[in-house]
Every structure is written in C-alpha cells, then in structure tokens.
Chain A
Amino acid sequence: MWRRLLAAAITAAMLAPAGQAAGRGTSALTRVDLRWLNRVTFGVDSSAVATYRRLGREKFLDAQLHPPREDPPELRAAIASLGISQKTGEARVFEFRQEQQRINSLPSEDEKQKARMALGQASGQVQYETSRRHLMRAIASPWQLREQMTWFWMNHFSVFSGKGNVRFTLPEYEEDAIRPHALGRFRELVMATVTAPAMLEYLDNAQSSANRINENYARELMELHTLGVSGGPSGSRYTQQDVQELARVLTGLGLALAPQPPRLGPQQAPLYVRRGLFEFNPARHDGRPKTVLGAAIAGKGLDEVDAAVTLLCRQPATARFISTKLATYFVADEPPRGLVDRMARTFEKTDGDIAAVLKTMFLDKEFIASLGYVDAASEPSERATGAARAAKRRASDGVGEFEGRSPSKLKDPMVFVVSSVRLAYEDKTLTNFRPLVGWLAQLGEPLYGRVTPDGYALTESAWTSSGQIVRRFEIARAIGSGNAGLFNNDDNSPGPSTGFPMLTSRFYYDSIEPALSARTRTALGQTNSQQEWNTVLLASPDWMQR
C-alpha cells in the first residue's frame, strides 16, 4: 500500500507550484502516454500513472531526471536495516582475510571445513543483500528512471562478483560509484569507476605497475566504457599505442590492502591518495610523459588520470557510443539514426550531462514514434493523418496492435521480472527476494553475474532463445499464481499466506486492458482460473514488450 501513498505525497509536493497547468486532472492517459511511461519506468503501475496525470509528460520526466538524493523514508529504513549497510567494503575485506587466517590455524580439518562453510555463506549473503537492495529500489522506488539507469550503468561498467574480493566491494561500487552519478555527468561517472576498488580489481589494474604493465583495464576503458571499439560504428580510432599509453596513465590505481600506507620519498608522498580501499600509489605509477589520442597528458599522479578520463569523455566517439547504447536499451536494437545524432549532439553540448541526453531522447519525435501510436497530444488535430485516424479507430474498437505484425522489442530479463512483480504486488511489500534473484539467473542475466567485462548484450536476441521464452512463461506463472515464496521470511521459511494476486484491478481496466490485442483478449477468455488468467496476462506479447 505504501507505494501508492508515497506517490500521492510526492505528487502533492511537486505539484504545488505547477498547479493544474497540465489540466489533465482526471482524463485517462492515452496509449502513447502509457507506453512512454512504460519505458521511463521499469513498468507502469498506478502510482506512476497518478503522478503522470498530475504532472504531465515533461514535468514527470524532469522529476525523474532530478530525483532527491535520498530514497523515500520506508525504503531508506528497509535498506538501512540490511547487513551490507552496517559495514564498509574495507571492513568486509579485512574481516574476511582475518577469518581466513584464523581458519588456517585451526587444529582439525573438521573445524576448518565448518568455518569455511560459514565464511562462504557470509560472503554469499553480502552478494544477496546487494541484489536485494537493487531489486527493492527497482520495484518500489518512485524514482524509477534512476533505478533503471543504475542497472544500465552497472551493466555498462560491469564487474563480476565471483572474482577475487569483488563481492565485498560490490555494495559500495553500486552505492557510491555508480548510483549517485546515474543521471549526472558522464565524466564524473567514469572517474568514480576508475577509482572504485571493485573495478580496479576486476579489470586487473590493481596488478598493474610501472614496470609490470597490465593493459586489460586501459583497453576496456576505451573499448567498452567510453569510445567504443576502434574502427567500430562510433567512429572510435585508437591504436595499440594509445592502449599502452593509457595503461601507463592508470598505473598506481589499486587497492589499499596493507594496513599502513607505503613509505614514500618527499617527491611522491604528496601524490599518495587513500580513500577506504582505494589507493593511488605513486611508487607504482609510471611518471614518464604520455600521449593518448595524440594529446599530451598533463599533470602529475592522479591528476593525469583525471586528464585522460576527461580527454576520453570529450571525444565525439564517446558521445556517439554512449548515445547509441542508451537508445538501444530504451528504444530498439537498431535505434533511429536521427535520434542518436540528436542525443550525441546534446551529449557534446552539455559535456556529457546524462540527464540532458535522456531528456533529448524521451521527448524526441522519433522516440515517440517508436511507441507505435500516433501521439494525439503532440499532433495538432487538423493535421492528423489517415494513419492517426485509423489508430484511433482501432483504439475505440478495442482491436489491439499486434494484428499482422510483431510486438516491438521484448523486455529484457530484468525489466520483465521487475515490471511483473510491480504489477502483481503494488500493494504489498516483498520480504523474500531470492526467487527474483533466481529468475534473473534462469533468464541468463543474474545481477553482478556477467563474467566478461562487456556486460549483458542489450539486443533482444540475447534473451529470446526458445528455452528462455518458455522459462519466462514459467516465471509468469510463478508470479501470477502467488506461490513463488516472495513473502517468505528472510531465512526462506514460509511467511504469512498471501494468496494469488488480483491482476484484474481497476488499474488493469484503466491502463492495460484498452490496448490489448484481440489474440490476447481471446487467450485471457480461455483461462480457467484467476491464477491462470494472471499467468496469461504476464506471458502475453502485450505485457512482454518494452
């Protein structure tokens, strides 16, 4: 229930100055509005609709693009009570190492084995709670766009939790490096990842030093994080020489695992930086001059890193690469070129202001066109075309949109799972997130589980193998029949019985039913029970499409 109350509070607060300018008080949302909302959020629900109704499209978007820093109180309290909120990554890593040492000194194999099991469970818990926090926000936060972008950037700057200590530094990686910058300036986002222990360990930069260079991170920083692959469609052109030079710039960035800072001479000491587990150690840094992409890198120590990151982020290739990726995620596997052009221009003009680029995208006419309906709001009625009239007629006939053509891009696993749970349980607070974690794994995209640094592909073919589609239907049933254990206790023992959700809600009749295709209506009509009806709705192409 609290999500709805919250929505009311938020709209009330935001609306004070705006008044009734939008004049949309009670009118039903158009299909374009709903589809648009469905992309700005993980999935439309009644609180999003209520807010949108009061604010209108542009103000809704502005609110989403500039959310308050803090989560709403209930969500904040729930997150504060998690184990991961009680400790820093630094403390986790040191405790883990201490415990390992203690285990090694235990006298019997049996005790060792038991202690190791316990330690393994404790580290698994860190990862589960990080997933849980991520999912809690994705499902319940009213600031849906920030949470979507948090997933997007966690995927873009992907780290694998199974490597080394990464699982222990993962909670801070998401909380401090990625999420605060999710709608901020791209350069600052990159800089935050460049100084994040999780990334430095994952891409081996912690192993790289002046006389033992590891190029792994330098290459991925250009290929995957900023410019796009050299010779590729972003127009990126860097050479092996550039990779080597950048690798030298990055030397010295690593993890502070020693209890004391290193002893340094008077030249180097002022350059030393230590923040939690992050360390810049000038003794490991290659101090000789470097040239990246034809530009001399200015400064000393960490300033060099800043200069190089700024240089990379201001390349036109980066603007194009990032804009294309955003549009691939939010619009289509092959997004309209004009749309990407306009996003890239905004990117360059605003020095990589992510919110500005997203605003360009969400309000662009080609974005609106990609929603599959003629937008009555943005087309003057006297210029309404035949197609628009036909679309309106179809709408009034209740004949849906899949007649004779395929639905647009299918939701990715994360969006499918989160949107379905949002729809089914808007009024309830989930207590057990293990089923969701499992579903994402079954659909091939577990959180923090991508082993390679490229992140999960954002194109549909990555999640539409035949086995995965059938699996989706099974997950639709697990959610729709209400016996997935989402309300179990934290130790996974059965919680209070909640029964199955009622998807035939007022919200459904207002916002989903009018746009359903004839085939889906027929299918819903053939079901035998509410649970089956729920399953079919969540498994329908209408619901599955972004």
Chain B
Amino acid sequence: MNLSRRRLLTLALAGAAHPLLPVRGIVSQAFAAPGAGSAKFLLVFLRGGYDAANVVIPVGSPFYYEARPTIAIPRPDPANPLAAIALPQRDGSSNWAMHPALKDTMLPLWTKGQLAFVPFAGTDDLTRSHFETQDSVETGMPVAAPGAAPHNYGSGFLNRLASALDGAAPVSFTDGLPTVMTGKAAVPNVSLKGTGRAPFDARQMAILAGMYEGTRFAPLIAEGFDLRKTVAEQSEMMASGSMAAEMQAANRNAITARGFELEARRMAGLMKDKFNIAFIDVGGWDTHVNQGNAQGQLATLLLSLGQGLAGFAEQMGDAWPHTLVVVISEFGRTFRENGTRGTDHGHGSAYWVLGGALQGGRFAGEEVVVRADSLNQNRDWPVTTEYRAMLGGLFRRIYGLDTTRLDQVFPNAVPRDLGLI
C-alpha cells in the first residue's frame, strides 16, 4: 500500500513539473511526431557477460544450491548480512532474491517501484563468444540464420534511434565510439573516468581551433572542446559546494564518490542539461575464476555498479521521472559453477530497468522455473525475452515511435510491451 502511494506521488510530481506531458512523465505526448521529447535514455552495457544468476537469485530453487556449492548466496535471512535480499513479488511469492551487495543501493529503488528485473533476457545468438555477441547486440540486427545474409558491421541501434528521433542528443561516455553508437548520426564521445580537467586552457583551445576554421573538422572540434569544458565545469562543481555535500550525505559520509559512482553522477549532470540518449560500458564481469559469493570479485563489482546507478538516479533529480536506464550484458553464465569457483560463458541474462516513473518493484517478462531440466542445453538460462523486442517495446512507449521508425532501429523485431512504463 505504502509502495503504490509513494509511486503515485512520484508520478504526480512528474506531471506537475512538466504539465504538457501525460501523467506518466516519461511517455512522449501521444500524437506528436516522434521526438526525443523530455525522455532521457541511458544504456549501461556490462561487458564480459555478468553472472545474472548470482544477482537475481532463484533462492526458491534447490537446484541453484546444488549447482553452486561454493559460490551460491545463502537464502534470505535478516540475521545474516551475507544472505540474499528477498525480493517479494506483488503476489506475495518470494522465489527470488537479490545479491546483498545491492542492498543499500538497489533495494530502496526496488521498494519505490523504480527498479525492475527482466530475467531470462538476452539474444538469439548462441555463439557464447564475447565479441560476437557484443557485436551482434550492439548492431541490433536480427541474428542471421547460419550462413544467411551477410554481417552488418555498419551501424549500431542507438545511432539508428538517434537518427529516427527529432531532437535526439546522443552521447557516448566512452573513449572511442562503440559499435552501438556508430552510424549516420554524429555522436560525441567523452570518457568521464579521468580527472575531468579540461585538457587545454581557453587560449590554447582558441589557437588549436583557429587552425581548423573553415574546415570540415571545425564543428567537431568545437563540439569536442565544448564537451570537455562542460565535463570539467561539472567535476569542479561536484568537487565543491552543495553537490559535494549532497553526495557525502548520500554516501553516508564516505569521503567522496569514487570510480563508477563519480562517473555516473557526472553522466547525470550532463544528461540533465545536454543529452538524452547515452551509453556507457562497465567491464570486468567475465568471472571464470574465483568469482566469490556474497563477498569477492562479483560482489565488489556489484557494489560499485549499484552505487553508480543509485547516484545517477539521485543526481538526475527532477529529470529522473523522465529517465529510463537499461542495464544489459552480452550473455549470462553457466548455471553450474565450474572447477575454478567461477562460471563460464552462458546464454540467458537478467536485464535491469530503472526509472523514476517505472512500474517496477517486480519481474517483467516470462519466468522460467529454474531446474536442471529447464536449462538451455543443460548449461545456462534460456532466453524468453529477446533484447530487441524488449528495447523496441520501451522505445515505442517513451518516444511514441511508429512501426516504420522502429523498424529502422530494430529491423524485423516485434516490439514487446512489458508494462513497465
């Protein structure tokens, strides 16, 4: 009861802040030409294939505990800080739980209905190869039948999304331009990992830009300098003043945000002002060896990811109700642990969807009862929600994309509405 009242409040606030939008703040105006509107979209790509089964944990499945003798997370138990965190569903069932490293950051969002999981999500690509699957996900083309149409290495689906929308302002928070962002639309890129200092002072920038005046590179250089300047101003603001205080409070007085959280907060700052379609990737998820359980390698990564996403949500502030974040990975991992206390490349994953106006706090998509005989190829999770269908469904909702435009983004995909927004 409490839950839904809080969500209603969020929705009302969203509506109040943007009177032109329908109550669900994130959804673009019906009947308007497809445009980015006030919606903000961030795709987070966990490179390496994260072990979904230890994050969204089938604690109701005895097979889970059989299959993972050393790396399983204990069943929920309030007295045990290393136990999984129960994720009660609306129907009262509690077959699923969350990794304890996410307790402080993701549980509050789940409780507010601003986080949902889509287990058994993934691609039709069964190569279990990092690079092939990442590439096929990023291009967003249908997986060719063995030997059918030639590969498409030309463009990525976020670039095509930016091309299909009026008012799109895409950005990639990466060193280079990842496949998902390559294509016709011009997409600036900047990594937020560094110190954030401006690379050159104003005089130097003027000298450098001056040489390119009138050439085809002039606008790119202006854009590049501008972005770096904005990033620098932002990180300065974050290092001092009210924002720093806010962050300290949020971190329970940990000295300052570091690593991914700092990056994520900077992203939020930039997305609030300037950008509405964004991409970032986070590496390190290929846990073949000693992945740990409630503590260890995977737990450390999750802690940092959770802090980043929660920090991002907070930093988005009044734009959060119009914001959608989707966290994906190229594949899941083997359901059974391997001989080196890790897991190997698998298939189905669990995607995360976050947003200020999400109808979350639940699982979306078709669930599979986790047993030995329900595994895909007796090895890993099956895929019941294909990523193109899922993202296509979300894009249709938040941008009001028609079939033609959706087909530009995800050719031949049949969008699925998971009822999340």
Binding site for B on A (CB under 8 A): 104, 109, 113, 116, 160, 162-163, 215, 219, 223, 229-230, 240, 243-244, 402, 404-407, 410, 441-444, 451-452, 454, 464-471, 473-474, 477, 517, 519-520, 522-523, 526-527, 532, 536, 539-541
B367 contacts the other chain (CB 8 A): no
In the bound complex, residues from chain A placing their C-beta under 8 Å from that of B147 are 215, 219, 240, 243-244
Interface residue B92 (Cβ < 8 Å from any Cβ of A): no
Closest residue to A442 on the B side, CB-wise? Answer: B175
| Interchain CB contact (< 8 A) of B176 among A163, A244, A465, A473 | A465
- New A-B pairs, 14, CB < 8 Å, besides A162-B130, A405-B215: A116-B289, A229-B150, A404-B214, A405-B214, A442-B176, A451-B135, A452-B131, A464-B217, A465-B220, A466-B223, A467-B176, A467-B177, A467-B188, A467-B190
CB contact between B188 and one of A244, A466, A519 (< 8 Å): that residue: A466
Q: Is the beta-carbon distance between B207 and A469 smaller than 8 angstroms?
A: no
Find chain B residues with CB under 8 A from A474 CB. 199
**Is there a chain A Cβ closer than 8 Å to B153's Cβ?**
yes
CB–CB A536/B220 < 8 A: no
Residue in contact with B212 in the complex, picked from A160, A441, A532, A541, CB distance below 8 Å:
A541
The verdict on A466 contacting B210 (CB below 8 Å), with A444-B175, A541-B217 known, is no
| Residues 203-224 of chain B, each 1 if its beta carbon lies under 8 Å from chain A, else 0 | 1100110111111110011011
Given A441, A451, A522, A536, which contacts B131 in the complex, CB threshold below 8 Å?
A451
- In the complex, B20 has a CB within 8 A of chain A: no
Whether the pair B208, A163 counts as a contact (CB closer than 8 A) is no
A443 CA to B191 CA in the complex, in Å?
12
Seen from chain B, the residues whose Cβ lies within 8 Å of a Cβ on chain A are: 129-132, 134-135, 146-148, 150-151, 153, 172, 175-177, 186-191, 199-200, 203-204, 207-208, 210-217, 220-221, 223-225, 227-228, 289-290, 339-340
Inter-subunit contact B199/A473 (CB<8 Å):
yes
For the complex, give the distance between the alpha carbons of A477 and B207 in Å: 13
Across the two chains, which residue of chain A brings its CB closest to B341? A109
**16 chain-A/chain-B pairs, Cβ below 8 angstroms:** A104-B340, A215-B146, A229-B150, A402-B214, A465-B177, A465-B187, A466-B186, A466-B227, A467-B191, A470-B221, A470-B225, A477-B200, A523-B211, A536-B208, A541-B211, A541-B212
- Per the bound structure, the CA–CA distance linking A519 and B207 in Å amounts to 9
Q: Which residues of A contact B203 (CB under 8 A)?
A: 526
Q: How far is the CA of A104 from the CA of B208 in the complex (A)?
A: 55
Is A469 a contact of B220 with CB atoms below 8 Å? yes
Contact A465 B189 (CB under 8 A): yes
Whether the pair A468, B189 counts as a contact (CB closer than 8 A) is yes
How many residue-residue contacts, CB under 8 A, span A and B? 120
* Closest chain A CB from B263 CB (angstroms): 15
Complex CA gap A146/B135 in Å reads: 32
Q: Tell me, in angstroms, the Cα distance from A177 to B64 when the chains sit together.
A: 48
Contact B150 A444, beta carbon cutoff 8 Å: no
Residue of B with least CB distance to A223: B150
Question: Hey, which chain A residues are within 8 Å of B148, CB to CB?
Answer: 240
Q: How many angstroms between the C-alpha atoms of A443 and B176 in the bound complex? A: 6
Q: How far is the CB of A464 from chain B (nearest CB, A)?
A: 6
A452 in contact with B208 (CB, 8 Å): no
CA distance A470 to B228 in the complex (A): 9
Q: Is the CB of A468 within 8 A of B176?
A: yes
Contacts of B227 in A (CB 8 A): 466-467
In the complex where A444-B177, A532-B204 touch, is A466 in contact with B215 (Cβ < 8 A)? no
Residue on A nearest B203 in the bound complex, by CB: A526
Please determine whether B199 and A452 come into contact, CB atoms closer than 8 angstroms: no
Chain B residues in 8 Å Cβ range of A477:
199-200
Contacts of A532 in B (CB 8 A): 204
CB distance from B192 to the nearest CB of A (A): 11
Contacts of B176 in A (CB 8 A): 442-444, 465, 467-468
Would B290 and A522 count as touching, CB distance under 8 A?
no
Contacts of A468 in B (CB 8 A): 176-177, 189
Cβ B189 vs Cβ A160 within 8 A: no
B175 to chain A: which residues have CB within 8 Å? 441-442, 444, 467, 471
In angstroms, Cα B277 to Cα A408, docked, is 32
Q: For residue B146, which residues in chain A have a CB less than 8 angstroms away from its CB?
A: 215
Interface centre among B131, B215, B216, B221 (most CB of A within 10 A): B215
Report if A466-B207 is in contact (Cβ < 8 Å); known contacts: A160-B131, A215-B147, A230-B150.
no
